């Protein structure tokens, strides 16, 4: 494992980082410099992470879990399971890390992730895998410069929505749902309306956000989702689906809104 990790000085003026509590900030930095391997990967284990980052502190596992949950909601980490293990992948690992060498990970990569490897092997050989590529999640990259997410064309989003709706059963295809203008509309119309609003307000709509909007449309009404989109864009320069879910779930817990089938 490399003994040097990059922490950009811009981190401390990042709008998301500044809103985190102290434990979550330290956990984020600790994941990068202490817990993650050369591919930005680690075990999703609160006790292990606590022992690595806070070895002398009396931090409870629930505090570490809450910090990880917050990082996940902000799309800073991706949590998944493979080969019976709970794992974490730091999402923008290859956007910020520029090592001269990088060992292979002991843990399987999440679906859609590209590792970059360069290490010494027996016989005085150097093994390289994907070293000339950008690395990371394949759906985050295109021919655009590093750090610029791929934006989906509107027609592609609509085709994705239609495909998702067709795969549902007949009842889900034809059920009436709340319309932003009163009355009812089909589920596909509702989802298309939400996606178009999201794209117009945020200037982007990637596949992960589209999937999140599909889930939210099953739980909340169109006006509430649109209000949450407005609230999100007014309070962050990095809007995303998980941020939107946090707003809606918070409003629901505060009894400011109702779920569609609550």
**How do residues 205-252 score in pLDDT, each as one tens digit?**
888 888 889 889 888 999 999 999 999 988 887 888 888 988 998 888
Residue 106 carries which DSSP code? S
What are the distances in angstroms from CA 106 to CA 6, 51, 114, 135?
Answer: 21, 19, 15, 17
pLDDT level of residue 139 (50, 70, 90 thresholds) = low
For residue 10, what pLDDT is reported?
87
Question: Token pair 């309306």 is at which residue?
Answer: 193
Asked whether residue 35 carries a pLDDT value surpassing 50, the answer given is yes
Q: H or E segment at 42? A: strand 41-43
pLDDT in tens, 179-194: 343 444 456 788 899 9
What number does CATH give the domain 9-110?
A: 1.10.10.10
Tell me if residue 182 falls in helix, strand or coil.
coil
Question: Token pair 């449309």 is at which residue?
Answer: 217
Taking the alpha carbons of 119, 123, 124, 125 in that order, is the dihedral positive or negative?
Answer: negative
What are the distances in angstroms from CA 151 to CA 55, 159, 171, 202?
Answer: 42, 15, 32, 11
Long-range contact pairs involving 229-232 (C-beta distance under 8 Å, separation at least 24): 229/197, 229/198, 229/201, 229/202, 230/201, 232/202
pLDDT greater at residue 2 or residue 23: 23
For residue 150, what pLDDT is reported?
36
Asked whether residue 9 carries a pLDDT value surpassing 90, the answer given is no
Contact at 8 Å (CB) between 41 and 104? Answer: no
The two structure tokens encoding residue 93: 């690992």
Question: Token pair 């089909």 is at which residue?
Answer: 186
For residue 188, what pLDDT is reported?
78
Asked whether residue 17 carries a pLDDT value surpassing 50, the answer given is yes
pLDDT greater at residue 38 or residue 13: 38
The dihedral formed by the CA atoms of 132, 138, 140 and 146, expressed in degrees to the nearest 10: 0
pLDDT in tens, 42-63: 999 999 999 999 999 999 999 9
Contact at 8 Å (CB) between 74 and 242? Answer: yes
Measured in degrees and rounded to the nearest 5, phi and psi for residue 43 equal -75, 140
Provide the whole-model pTM. 0.55
Average pLDDT (30-45) is 97
Q: What residues does CATH 1.10.10.10 cover in the chain?
A: 9-110
For residue 261, what pLDDT is reported?
60
Q: H or E segment at 89? A: strand 85-90
CA 185 – CA 181 distance, rounded (Å): 10
pLDDT greater at residue 242 or residue 200: 200
What proportion of the chain, given as a percentage, has pLDDT over 70?
79
CA 85 – CA 107 distance, rounded (Å): 9
Contact at 8 Å (CB) between 113 and 91? Answer: no
Contact at 8 Å (CB) between 30 and 53? Answer: yes
Contact at 8 Å (CB) between 164 and 214? Answer: yes
Task: Give me the chain's average pLDDT, please.
Answer: 82
For residue 60, what pLDDT is reported?
94
- Burial 208-221, CB ≥16 within 10 A → b, else e: bbbebbbebbebbb
């Amino acid at each position: 494992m490399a003994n040097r990790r990059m922490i950009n000085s811009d981190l401390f003026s990042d709008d998301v980082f500044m809103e985190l509590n102290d434990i979550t900030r330290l956990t984020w930095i600790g994941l990068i410099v202490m817990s993650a391997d050369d591919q930005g990967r680690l075990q999703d284990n609160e006790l292990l992470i606590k022992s690595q980052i806070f070895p002398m502190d009396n931090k409870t596992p629930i505090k570490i879990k809450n910090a990880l949950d917050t990082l996940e909601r902000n799309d800073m980490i991706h949590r998944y399971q493979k080969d019976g293990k709970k794992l974490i992948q730091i999402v923008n690992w290859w956007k910020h890390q520029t090592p001269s060498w990088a060992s292979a990970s002991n843990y399987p990569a999440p679906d859609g992730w590209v590792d970059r490897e360069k290490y010494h092997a027996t016989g005085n050989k150097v093994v390289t895998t994907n070293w000339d590529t950008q690395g990371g999640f394949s759906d985050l990259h295109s021919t655009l410069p590093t750090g610029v997410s791929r934006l989906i064309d509107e027609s592609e989003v609509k085709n994705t929505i239609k495909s998702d709706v067709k795969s549902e059963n007949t009842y889900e295809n034809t059920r009436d749902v709340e319309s932003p203008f009163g009355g009812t509309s089909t589920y596909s119309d509702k989802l298309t309306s939400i996606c178009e609003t999201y794209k117009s307000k945020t200037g982007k709509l990637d596949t992960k956000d589209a999937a999140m909007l599909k889930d939210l449309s099953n739980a909340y009404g169109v006006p509430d989702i649109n209000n949450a989109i407005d609230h999100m864009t007014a309070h962050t320069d990095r809007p995303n689906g998980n941020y939107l879910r946090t707003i809606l779930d918070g409003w629901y817990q505060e009894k400011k809104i109702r779920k569609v089938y609550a």
